[in-house]
């Protein structure tokens, strides 16, 4: 016995100091991770989430025609322009072809409709503007992969190939979860189990490649039956496992019937930060979103949602 303490007490004290040292190192590692977070280019979203965490899975959910693909492409372009080391930003589409996706990207660049671009409206001036815009992103590393039959396992395989080729991946976006094909090597009892397995597979992929993975998802029709039509996590279609796997859940809502030019992005889950609502402006011509100047203004409201636009509640 030393200093009046038994060997057991000394051992417990030593273990406590060791745990404290480990915790401090973990805190330092987390701070370093925060510095490496991927910024979305939407300032309020980045403020609230501190960017997309490497190794995390984000769910971006909405009803059909609200604009989840358009928002994802907005975000992808922002990330591709600013991500360190020009790591590739990868977009998997289970719904649209590569040419359709690129036409949407050009539409957002030029603030023109896809219809006008495809029909050459504006003549040479349009093509000159497009070439100029493309030169501005020439050093951005973006990969678009389109195939209707992608399964979660296919996406993992392709992502690993890209990571090996470029020394890592900056961001992966998948459009969208419910369109992923069944794994031919496995049999599932029902669709809910199948979607749950796909969700978990993509979550593990994020950790394996140490990059954020954004998975687009459909919302159920239940959200349209409520008076305020504000989506929540229970509206995620086909599986409760999606909510469990996700580190961050974003719900996009817009009055599609009236072709509303305003939208609301609701953060319904944030494992490492706050939740709340952010107002967006929607340009129907180019199908693009920007954060609204109404954020933080007294008396502003949208879909019955009153300010402040976000809170700092921990989930």
Supply the pLDDT for residue 194: 81
- Mean pLDDT in runs of 10 for the chain (315 residues)? 59 60 62 71 91 94 91 93 86 90 88 85 79 75 87 94 94 90 70 84 94 93 78 77 90 79 92 88 90 66 38 39
Nearest to 77 by CA among 133, 20, 13, 15: 133
Supply the pLDDT for residue 65: 87
CA atoms 293, 34, 270, 183: torsion sign: positive
Supply the pLDDT for residue 314: 36
Half-sphere exposure of residue 22: CA atoms within 13 angstroms, side-chain side: 6
Supply the pLDDT for residue 27: 60
CA 15 – CA 20 distance, rounded (Å): 9
What contacts 45, CB < 8 A, 6 or more positions away? 265, 267, 278, 291
Q: Which helix (H) or strand (E) holds 76?
A: helix 68-82
Supply the pLDDT for residue 298: 40
CA 177 – CA 51 distance, rounded (Å): 22
Residue matched to tokens 């590692």: 29
The H-assigned helical ranges of 111-211 are 114-118, 123-136, 152-166, 191-209
Strand order in the sheet with 213-218: 142-146, 89-93, 171-175, 213-218, 57-62, 248-254, 262-270, 276-283, 288-291
Q: State the angle between helix axes of 98-110 and 68-82 in degrees (0 to 180), rounded to the nearest 10.
A: 70
């Amino acid at each position: 016995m030393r200093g009046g303490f038994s060997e057991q007490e000394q051992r417990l004290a030593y273990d406590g100091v060791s745990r404290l040292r480990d915790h401090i190192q973990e805190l330092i590692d987390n701070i370093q991770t925060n510095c490496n977070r991927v910024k979305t280019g939407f300032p309020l979203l980045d403020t609230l989430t501190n960017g997309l965490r490497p190794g995390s899975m984000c769910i971006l959910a909405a009803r059909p025609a609200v604009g989840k693909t358009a928002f994802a492409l907005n975000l992808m372009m922002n990330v591709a322009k600013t991500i360190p080391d020009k790591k590739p930003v990868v977009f998997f589409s289970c719904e649209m072809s590569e040419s359709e996706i690129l036409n949407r990207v050009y539409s957002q660049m030029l603030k023109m409709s896809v219809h006008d671009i495809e029909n050459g409206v504006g003549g040479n001036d349009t093509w000159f503007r497009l070439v100029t815009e493309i030169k501005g992103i020439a050093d951005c590393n973006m990969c678009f992969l389109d195939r209707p039959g992608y399964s979660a396992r296919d996406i993992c395989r392709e992502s690993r190939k890209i990571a090996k080729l470029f020394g890592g991946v900056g961001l992966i976006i998948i459009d969208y979860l419910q369109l992923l094909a069944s794994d031919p090597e496995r049999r599932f009892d029902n669709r809910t189990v199948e979607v749950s397995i796909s969700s978990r597979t993509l979550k593990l992929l994020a950790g394996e490649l140490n990059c954020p993975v954004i998975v687009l998802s459909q919302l159920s029709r239940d959200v349209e039956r409520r008076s305020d039509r504000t989506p929540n996590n229970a509206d995620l279609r086909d599986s409760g496992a999606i909510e469990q796997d996700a580190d961050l859940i974003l719900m996009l809502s817009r009055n599609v019937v009236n072709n509303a030019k305003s939208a609301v992005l609701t953060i319904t889950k944030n494992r490492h930060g706050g939740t709340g609502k952010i107002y967006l402006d929607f340009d129907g011509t180019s199908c693009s979103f920007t954060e609204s100047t109404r954020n933080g203004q007294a008396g502003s409201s949208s879909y019955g949602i009153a300010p402040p636009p976000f809170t700092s509640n921990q989930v």
